[in-house]
Amino acid sequence: MNVVIVGATGLVGRTMLRVLEERNVNVDRLVLAASERSAGQTMTFRDQPLDVVELRPETFDGIDYALFSAGGSVSRQFAPVAAARGCVVIDNSSAWRMDPDVPLVVPEVNPLDALLHRGVIANPNCSTIQLVVALKPLAEAFGLRRVVVSTYQTPSGAGQKGLDQLRAELEGRMPMERISPHQLAGNTVFHTIDALNADSEEETKVMRETRRILHMDSLPLAVTCVRVPVIGGHAESVAVETERPCSADDVRQVLSNAPGVVVVDDPANAQYPTTVRANDTDPVYVGRIRPDASVANGILLWVVADNLRKGAATNAVQILEVLAAHR
Amino acid sequence: MNVVIVGATGLVGRTMLRVLEERNVNVDRLVLAASERSAGQTMTFRDQPLDVVELRPETFDGIDYALFSAGGSVSRQFAPVAAARGCVVIDNSSAWRMDPDVPLVVPEVNPLDALLHRGVIANPNCSTIQLVVALKPLAEAFGLRRVVVSTYQTPSGAGQKGLDQLRAELEGRMPMERISPHQLAGNTVFHTIDALNADSEEETKVMRETRRILHMDSLPLAVTCVRVPVIGGHAESVAVETERPCSADDVRQVLSNAPGVVVVDDPANAQYPTTVRANDTDPVYVGRIRPDASVANGILLWVVADNLRKGAATNAVQILEVLAAHR
């Protein structure tokens, strides 16, 4: 199985490389591709040095799977090129996520959708992935009536630039580039909001993608996405209304048996998911599971995951594993 | 008018001193009191040095108003002593907030409750104050059916110790004292949760106090309180369901005319309330006002205020002003 990582030198690309190693994915040949600016760097895969090559159409010749994380415009340009050469693309950008011909897949939730691809599969937004991993078992067990989400997101969701702005500010330096006109350090800010929309781009993604992955086109969802000055992952405060009654213990039981979920929920001993604890690990952690007496069948959850791993690289590699298992 | 600040050397006490100066409160004599450990320090009021005295029962002799911010146990011990000596106590601790004989007051919301005091008035929890300032105008204009809140709170809500833990961690030092067993820097953590309760102490305060101040004993409220590594204030993501239909423009209009509220809501130009912008100012800022299509009469808000000023010191001084105006 021959694999290329497109955008290999980026924050997600580097994590994809590590996840391929860690999960012992059966890769015969790995190609690392990036923009002209980053080509020529050397990275290490399975203790072997690998040169980063400049992305060209020929990069995909003889390649079975391409993991893309180089931004929307590269994906729009090169995913069709790769697919036309017989390479299956798993794309981490938002370019194809709402295309009805492109499956949008979280392997714990809708793995079989991956098999319907026509050459391109989309990896969802990071905030969406951890949310649907936690919601899917509840949808199956109790039904979902409405979900209200507020997020606590690391600036690394915007890639290395986001981390660089935060780190520069924390160290009292002027950032070289900015992902927000506002200070990130010590602050709470929002993602880009375009003039035509009251919701931010991130909020719109979470609503649309969650409905699509869960196959619940009209699921009522209220989403507020916030960047906070944390490094290791995203957290989400989630208020769920279920169709059928369920206790906090019922929910704890269902989530404890759910794929990809780790329940951490002993609040009296200060045991609950935290961003720092989730960092550099793959599970979606759920805690603070408690009844919400303000509505019928209300349950509150706190959902945390590493946005670069389960929220991006790990999910993409899991999609690759699903495809490889069905070859 | 003679005033004592009890806990004058603490984070809120120092802010009370500054707010008394800034608002030109008609204070004839100001006494600064603190524990034995802090007594002897010198602080400055209206360019005059003032020695901090040790708190004793006699401290209240000849004093009209006492602003307490020295923790619950000092308040429980000394507020009755002060009241018995004819001094009216405005107490920033949680000791008396749910006592039916003690008014719980936010001057923009329920000023007249202050006049029913029997010697002690409670200043609400910081997260509660900014929430009710934003909710009260909506309750009057449209009615409230349900409120779902997730907070983004600075560790300074736990006083100087909270800030010290965060700053030590940001600077790579070991904190001398901890307000959380978890790292605060780069993390999302919860307030203390006791073994008998699924909600944290902070979450319980916000629910109970909000209902009491709004005089809505059964208002359905879901509250999740989170500490994030910010310095200047608290932010709140608020999903409101109103009794009567209202558009985002209706809400913007009502809040623009509401006392104590400043609407900052031009998201396409990245203009919205931020923690950094709210820092060291008195208003409650509201933005991201937008429809919530997931429920009938749903509105989403983002509410930010400086927790040491409007969330503590300024609100207490405003209560003092209400009392002084009705002497």
> Cα separation of A65 and A20, whole Å?
12
Alpha-carbon distance of B116 to B133, in angstroms, equals 21
Taking CA–CA distances from A145, the nearest residue in chain B reads B294
Residue B146: the pLDDT is: 98
Candidate from B152, B267, B295 with C-beta closest to A146: B295
Q: Round to whole Å and give the CA distance between B246 and A164.
A: 42
Contacts 24+ apart (CB under 8 A), B161-169: B162/B227, B163/B11, B163/B231, B166/B229, B166/B231
Which three-class secondary structure state does DSSP give residue A58?
Answer: helix
A107 CA: distance to closest CA in chain B (Å): 27
Q: What angle do CA B18, B22, B28 make, to 5 degrees?
A: 85
Helices (runs of H) and strands (runs of E) counted in chain A: 8, 15
DSSP state of A156: G
Q: What is the pLDDT of residue B85?
A: 96
pLDDT at B88 over 90: yes
B277 CB-near residues (< 8 Å, 6+ apart): B264, B285, B304
- Average pLDDT for A22-45: 96
CB-based contact, A224 to chain B, within 8 Å? yes
H helices of B57-125, where?
72-84
- Mean residue pLDDT of chain B comes to 97
User: Which of B145, B165, B187, B189 is the best substitution to test chain A (most A C-beta atoms within 10 A)?
Assistant: B187
Query: How far, in Å, are A78, B215, B241 from residue B147 at the CA level?
Result: 46, 15, 6
Kindly indicate the confidence band of residue B327, based on its pLDDT and cuts at 50, 70 and 90. Answer: confident
**Taking chain B, what is the end-to-end CA distance rounded to the nearest angstrom?**
10
Give pLDDT, residue B194.
Answer: 87
Q: Do A230 and B187 touch (CB under 8 A)?
A: yes
- Whether A217 has a pLDDT exceeding 90, the answer reads yes
pLDDT (tens digit, 9 = 90+) per residue, B290-314?
Answer: 999 999 999 999 999 999 999 999 9
CA gap A190, B272 in Å, rounded: 9
Instruction: Please give the pLDDT value at position A50.
Output: 97
- Exposed, middle or buried, A296 (CB in 10 Å: 0-12/13-18/19+)? exposed
Q: Render pLDDT for B114-152 as a digit per residue (tens, 0 to 9).
A: 999 999 999 999 999 999 999 999 999 999 999 999 999
A87 is catalytic: no
The per-residue pLDDT for range A277-313, each reduced to its tens digit, is: 999 999 999 999 999 999 999 999 999 999 999 999 9
CA B94 to chain centre: 11
> H-type helices in A85-214, by residue range?
126-142, 160-170, 201-214
A270 CA: distance to closest CA in chain B (Å)? 7
Please identify among residues 76-105 of chain B the ones whose CB lies closer than 8 Å to any CB of chain A: none
Mutate to test the interface with B, among A145, A149, A187, A295 (most CBs of B within 10 A): A187
Q: Which of A87, A126, A225, A246 is catalytic?
A: A126
Structure confidence by residue, pLDDT tens digits, A243-269: 999 999 999 999 999 999 999 999 999
Nearest to B304 by CA among B288, B292, B326, B291: B288
Task: Taking residues A108-116, report their average pLDDT.
Answer: 98
What six digits make up the tokens of B231? 């310095």
Q: Say if residue B23's pLDDT is above 80.
A: yes
Check pLDDT > 90 for residue A78: yes
B1, with CB counted inside 10 A (0-12, 13-18, 19+), is: middle
**Residues B190-247: tens digit of each pLDDT:** 999 987 789 999 999 999 999 999 999 999 999 999 999 999 999 999 999 999 999 9
pLDDT at A16 over 90: yes
Residues A182, B274: C-beta atoms closer than 8 Å: yes
Interface of A with B in 295-324 (CB under 8 A): 295, 298, 300, 302, 304
Domains annotated on chain A, with CATH? 2-124+312-325 (3.40.50.720), 127-307 (3.30.360.10)
What is the distance between the alpha carbons of residues A214 and A132, in angstroms, rounded to a whole number?
7
**Residues A183/A169, Cβ–Cβ less than 8 Å:** yes
Partner-chain contact B290 A199, CB within 8 Å? yes
Asked if A222 reaches chain B (Cβ–Cβ under 8 Å), the answer is yes
Residue A49 confidence (pLDDT): 97
- Work out the average pLDDT over A219-248: 97
- What does the alpha-carbon distance between residue B83 and residue A293 come to, in Å, rounded to a whole number? 38
Say what the pTM is. 0.97
- Picking from A186, A189, A288, the nearest residue to B229 by CB comes out as A186
What is the C-alpha separation between A281 and B53, in angstroms, rounded? 53
Instruction: Kindly tell me if the per-residue pLDDT of A196 is higher than 80.
Output: no
Do the Cβ atoms of A270 and B221 come within 8 Å?
A: no
Burial of B279 from C-beta contacts in 10 A (0-12 / 13-18 / 19+): buried
Q: If you average pLDDT over every residue of chain A, what do you get?
A: 97
pLDDT higher than threshold 90 for residue A327? no
Burial B165-193 (b: 16+ CB within 10 A, else e): bbebbbeeeebeebbbebbbbbbbbbbeb
In this prediction, residue A38 carries a pLDDT of 94
| Residue A126 annotated as catalytic | yes
- Whether A96 shows a pLDDT value over 90: the answer reads yes
Task: Enter the tokens of residue A175.
Answer: 């950032």
The minimal CB distance from B152 to the residues A220, A228, A292 is found for A228
Query: What DSSP state is assigned to residue A271?
Result: B
Give the gap in angstroms from C-alpha A231 to the nearest C-alpha of chain B: 6
Share of chain A above pLDDT 90, in %: 98
Segment (H or E) for A52: strand A48-54
Reduced 3-state DSSP string for B168-236:
HHHCCCCCCCCCCCCCCCECCEECCCCCCCCCCHHHHHHHHHHHHHHCCCCCCEEEECEECCECCCEEE
Q: Out of B87, B117, B225, B234, pick the active-site residue.
A: B234
The answer to whether residues B187 and A276 touch, using CB atoms and an 8 Å cutoff, is: yes
The pLDDT of B308-324, averaged and rounded, is 98
* 8 Å CB contact of A300 and B224: yes
A155 in reach of chain B (CB within 8 A)? no
Buried b (16+ CB within 10 A) or exposed e, B12-37: bbbbbbbbbeeeebebeebbbbbbee
A152 touches chain B (CB under 8 A): yes
Give me the DSSP letters along A285-327: EEEEEEEETTSTTEEEEEEEE-TTIIIIIHHHHHHHHHHHHT-
- Contacts with A, B 175-204, CB within 8 Å: 180-183, 186-190, 192-195, 198-200
Determine the Cα–Cα distance for residues B116 and B102; give it in Å rounded to an integer. Answer: 8
Mean pLDDT of B100-117: 98
Residue in B188, B239, B272 nearest the CB of A235: B188
